[in-house]
Structure 1
Amino acid sequence: MSQVKFPALIGESPLAILAAIGTFRLIHDFVDDDARLSWDPNDRAPVLHSRLATVDAVVEELSEIVAEMPEDVVVPGAPPSFPRQKVGTKGSDPMRAEQGRLNGLAGSFSEDAAQISTVRDWIASLLTDLVHDDEGKCAISQFMAPSGQQTMFSMLRKPLCVVQTDPEHLYRALVGWRRVEGVTGEFLDHRAVWSAAEDPNGEAQKMRGVPGATWLALMSYPAWTTTATGSHPRTSGWHAVGRPPVQELRLPLWWEPLGPRAVKALVEHPVLEGKGEEKRLDADALRLLGIFHVCRARRRKAERSKSKSAGVLVPVS
């Protein structure tokens, strides 16, 4: 089994970590089911353990996965009808089923067993009917922070279109990021926000995200599950911290090569909940699990923003 390191995905931001896990998930599910993922403690870069010997070989396989997707499909292995698209510009996301109607949703997209399994994984990640919003709609994943007319379909479709137009974005995602004007980062990338403070002329500009990394990060979503705690949704990796409680994402880096189920178990492990009112992490307990670093991030809304979005993910020290 070969070991391939991705130097651009240093585990110091949620986008990079999720992109590494998304890459690993795609290789495991479509190329090599013996693939494993670890992180180098020296530079915090992810290491893919698989039959693929080089970064170029990994990119070739990822590019083939994208190329083999039918034109009307936005998720590898899913039917063209998933996720449901909005008709017109008004109304809520058509994927937001009413509470109590989520259970049979997966089977409504396809009769193919493999496609139904793929859809179920995505739905379990993106939605939960254990809690609902003011309109009685199923709550969404904490990894999502939709703004305006964004839907699950548009969230998945837009980064894919950029990658399909230029597959070189996949190579850049793993080796050296290049930001592209107009790419939002799907609220996972705080550096994509280009405000007047960053602009030499003091003028607000379009967002500048990393399309390949963004798409790969989205491909990690089926690895997670959205359930609920109390009256609030809770997605794998998210924790309520402090008083009043603030939602914080905690993603670990580990040194032992792990498969998909072990990665999910580690991200959801109770040790990442922390102890005390501030939910402080226990370094010794983390070390026993093979965790050498935890990336923490919280949502930040733009100043004076009228958007209902939860805001962009920003790493915290």
Structure 2
Amino acid sequence: MNRHQLELPALHSDDPLGFLAALGVLELSETALGQAVRLSWRGLAAPAVLHTDQSVTLTQLAELLAGFLPGEPAKEPLPAAPGILGLPRDTSPGAPNDALRMPIEQAHRLLRDFATTERLENDPRARWFAALVNQLCVTPAKKSKDEPQEEQRGATAAASAVTPQGPVWYTESTPLFAASGQMTLANNWVKAAEQCRRQGAHISAALKGWIRVPDYTGANLDHRSTGDASMTGDGKPSQQGVPGATWLALHAFATFRLTGDTTRSATTAWDTSGDLPALIWPVWTSALSRTSIRALLEHPLVRAENPARFGESLTNLGVIGICSASRTKLSNSYGPFEPGQVLWP
């Protein structure tokens, strides 16, 4: 049982970015300390608490976490699982602009290779790859403007007596990341890491008190990063993301298990029953391991339509509250999370 507790004052349980960043802290600190680390919350709308075997201060923890920053973010954005975010993008006609949305055959091959090295060498990349590349949801390549219509293509194939090649099917990535414009998961990881390397205080600030950076988008994880005119000093709209908390939150993606029905991508704690998809998460006060947290995130009562009906059962699970944050909607894509709201109690 962990003997030491460290409160993370800037990471609150009712905030989607704060919740994800706390999971990211758990992910990285367990590796850094080489021991089982656990996480709890002081309560609803209250800070996270890290439980460790050895005494750690906020300053020491920030230094440990900063040790995972990539030396050259553009070349290797994710040193914790190298070679995944640096994969080259498929350049076939109609291919997605995100390298993690790859041909399904390539994804199967890579996962087999990573799983083999995981068995032989305890390599973490299989778990990371499965959390970032969704092989249970695939989409075909986009048609080019000059691609022949179905009737014309069928006639051409019949005339040549050659069986036409079927479409290339591409994987989806995690729905926890909402790409807008030319955003990709890799370049958002790169931008967050570059900001944290440029100013070393960002990692410490992620734990103690957030620093917002003008013109930084925040990977669409925080509604406050949109920076409308009323939030800026000069009265002009500007992005104002939190690089340290965002970089930590991206590491939380490894906790979530990807699912899908071949046509729609989903993940642990992801709800698509409303007009806009939403992240739904529990809040607990007992010190839980990463495995226990994943089990709790996946529990069906956490995503029950009316959680108040199951209040006693949720309490028996150790849950003190359930929070939710819906995606915003931009003109052609989803945007940042809305502010977190308490669904129960």
Indicate whether the TM-score tops 0.5: yes
Aligned to 1:292: 320
Determine if the alignment matches structure 1 residue 146 to structure 2 residue 149. no
* Residue 316 of structure 1: how far off its partner (Å): 4.9
**Judging changes above 3 Å, is the alpha-carbon distance between structure 1 residues 236 and 83 closer, same or farther for their aligned structure 2 residues?**
farther
* Residue 182 of structure 1: how far off its partner (Å): 2.0
8 A contact 2:44–2:320 mirrored in 1: no
Aligned to 1:103: 108
What's the secondary structure of 1:7's corresponding residue? strand
* Residue 68 of structure 1: how far off its partner (Å): 7.2
8 A contact 1:254–1:290 mirrored in 2: yes
Aligned to 2:80: 77
* Residue 230 of structure 1: how far off its partner (Å): 6.6
What's the secondary structure of 1:293's corresponding residue? strand
Could you list the per-position Cα deviations for residues 285-314 of structure 1 after superposition, in whole angstroms to 9, with x for gaps in the alignment? 221111112220111123xx3x3x322111
Could you list the per-position Cα deviations for residues 89-139 of structure 1 after superposition, in whole angstroms to 9, with x for gaps in the alignment? x95212212234422124668996588832222221122222212423112
Determine if the alignment matches structure 1 residue 58 to structure 2 residue 58. no
Distance in 1 between the 2:334 and 2:235 partners? Answer: 25
Aligned to 1:35: 37
Where structure 1 has 5 or more consecutive residues not aligned to the other structure, the ranges are none
Question: Percentage identity across aligned positions?
Answer: 29
The amino acid that maps onto 2:186 is F
Could you list the per-position Cα deviations for residues 234-282 of structure 1 after superposition, in whole angstroms to 9, with x for gaps in the alignment? 111112334xx54221111111101110011111111112136xx7773
8 A contact 2:192–2:247 mirrored in 1: yes
Give RMSD over aligned pairs.
2.9
* Residue 70 of structure 1: how far off its partner (Å): 8.5
* Residue 80 of structure 1: how far off its partner (Å): 4.7
* Residue 85 of structure 1: how far off its partner (Å): 4.1
Larger Rg, first or second structure (1 or 2): 2
Distance in 2 between the 1:26 and 1:144 partners? Answer: 19
Q: Give 1 or 2: higher helix fraction.
A: 2
Determine if the alignment matches structure 1 residue 118 to structure 2 residue 124. yes
Aligned to 2:147: none
Distance in 2 between the 1:256 and 1:186 partners? Answer: 30
Where structure 2 has 5 or more consecutive residues not aligned to the other structure, the ranges are 142-168
After superposition, where does 1:68-217 map in structure 2 within 5 Å? 72-80=75-83, 82-86=85-89, 92-106=97-111, 113=118, 117-135=123-141, 136-196=169-229, 198-199=231-232, 203-205=236-238, 207-217=239-249
1:18 to 4, 17, 20: 20
Aligned residues: 307
What's the secondary structure of 1:137's corresponding residue? strand
Distance in 2 between the 1:233 and 1:40 partners? Answer: 33
The amino acid that maps onto 1:73 is E
TM-score, normalised with respect to structure 2: 0.79
